[in-house]
């Protein structure tokens, strides 16, 4: 059960919405194949930040078991790093 | 004695919930991993197929799901009145159904490209991964409504935890499937 107040939850929601909106220009540019590779880590960083906020504030794990908190933050981080590595490998192989 | 029994039961429920959640995360992880590997094997085919997706609609769905998650977190808050808890659960469920509707609309525009030979692998994985997630949103959305009917704190806690994890999966899937 979350110990965050409705006001704190609203703040978290607003930050999450801002992160989605901040990523929108990158999202629309990335769909075109000519988009710079630098957009990829930016977008994945936004995803990890959003995931972290959901785990800490919505799931209420900021004060919960540390192993659970670390595991749930590590899951999106792992896939973000894997996706960034994949994007780099693909870019290098296509340019070579 | 009764209190002690209730505490033990609640602990067992929480343990089973986290076992379920980690098995879900493992299943989604395997699918996302398969998607990443397939993108490396055929980057050009996947790149062209991805041009037929609608990231604008997916971003809208992210906003819908995060707003739903916010309502679910309100419902699970300590000291919330039953009426407020119930209302927040219903709003969270309705937003979940809005997510499903937007996704089905998105599928209707994308499905005609799925039959093209060059895009078949991409769309097979795309529909499998996003469809599996969509079924979860629909199913847990119904559970949210059922719990809203009689919002016992323990049940609210269980169903909203599951809802946030489904949210978490979408946050990771969105850039990987649509963009990166």
pLDDT < 70: residue spans in chain B: none
A96: closest CA of chain B, how far (Å): 14
Kind plus residue range of the DSSP H or E element containing B87: helix B82-110
Residue A93: count other Cβ atoms within 10 Å of its Cβ. 10
pLDDT of residue B8: 75
pLDDT of residue B4: 76
pLDDT of residue B90: 98
Which pLDDT tens digit goes with each residue over B90-131? 999 999 999 999 999 999 999 999 888 889 999 999 999 999
pLDDT of residue B98: 98
Task: Kindly state whether B30 is in contact with chain A, defined as any CB-CB distance less than 8 angstroms.
Answer: no
pLDDT of residue A2: 63
Query: Residue A75 and residue B36: Cβ atoms within 8 Å?
Result: no
**What residues in B contact A20, CB-CB < 8 Å?**
59, 62-63, 66
**Is the Cβ–Cβ distance between B92 and B71 less than 8 Å?**
yes
Task: Kindly state whether A82 is in contact with chain B, defined as any CB-CB distance less than 8 angstroms.
Answer: yes
**Is the Cβ–Cβ distance between B75 and B88 less than 8 Å?**
yes
Cβ contacts of residue A61 below 8 Å, gap of 6+? A55, A68, A69, A72
The DSSP 8-state label assigned to residue A54 in this structure reads: I
Query: Taking CA atoms, what residue in B is nearest to A36?
Result: B180
Query: Residue B63 and residue A20: Cβ atoms within 8 Å?
Result: yes
The DSSP 8-state label assigned to residue B79 in this structure reads: T
Question: Each residue's pLDDT tens digit in chain A (96 positions)?
Answer: 566 789 999 999 999 999 999 988 877 776 665 566 778 898 999 999 999 999 999 999 998 889 999 999 999 999 999 999 999 998 888 776
Domain map of chain B by residue range? Answer: 2-178
Query: Residue A58 and residue B25: Cβ atoms within 8 Å?
Result: no
Selected residues 6-35 of chain A with any CB under 8 Å from a CB in chain B: 6, 9-10, 12-13, 16-17, 20, 23-24, 26-28, 30-31, 33
The DSSP 8-state label assigned to residue A56 in this structure reads: I
Structure-token pair, residue B48 = 């062209």
Structure-token pair, residue B140 = 């847990």
Task: Kindly state whether B14 is in contact with chain A, defined as any CB-CB distance less than 8 angstroms.
Answer: no
pLDDT of residue A63: 86
Domain map of chain A by residue range? Answer: 6-95
Q: Which of B102, B59, B96 is nearest to B75 (CA)?
A: B96
CATH 3.40.640.10, applies to B2-178: no
ipTM for the assembly: 0.91
Percent of chain A with pLDDT over 70: 89
């Amino acid at each position: 059960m979350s110990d965050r107040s409705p006001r704190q939850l609203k703040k978290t929601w607003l930050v999450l919405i801002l992160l989605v909106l901040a990523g929108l220009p990158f999202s629309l540019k990335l769909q075109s194949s000519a988009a710079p590779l630098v957009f990829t880590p930016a977008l994945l960083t936004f995803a990890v930040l959003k995931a972290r906020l959901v785990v800490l504030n919505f799931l209420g794990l900021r004060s919960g078991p540390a192993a659970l908190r670390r595991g749930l933050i590590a899951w999106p981080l792992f896939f973000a790093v894997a996706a960034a590595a994949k994007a780099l490998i693909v870019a290098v192989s296509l340019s070579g | 004695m009764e209190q002690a029994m209730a505490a033990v039961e609640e602990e067992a429920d929480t343990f089973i919930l986290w076992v379920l959640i980690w098995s879900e995360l493992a299943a989604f992880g395997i699918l996302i991993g398969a998607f990443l590997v397939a993108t490396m094997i055929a980057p050009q085919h996947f790149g062209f197929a991805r041009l037929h997706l609608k990231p604008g609609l997916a971003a809208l769905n992210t906003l819908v799901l995060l707003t739903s998650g916010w309502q679910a977190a309100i419902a699970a808050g300590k000291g919330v009145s039953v009426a407020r808890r119930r209302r927040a659960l219903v709003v969270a469920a309705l937003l979940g159904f809005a997510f499903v509707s937007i996704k089905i609309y998105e599928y209707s525009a994308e499905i005609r490209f799925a039959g093209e030979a060059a895009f078949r692998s991409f769309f097979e994985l795309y529909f499998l991964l996003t469809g599996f997630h969509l079924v979860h949103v629909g199913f847990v959305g119904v559970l949210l409504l059922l719990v809203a009917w009689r919002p016992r704190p323990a049940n609210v806690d269980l169903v909203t935890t599951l809802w946030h994890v489904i949210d978490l999966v979408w946050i990771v899937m969105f850039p990987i499937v649509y963009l990166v």
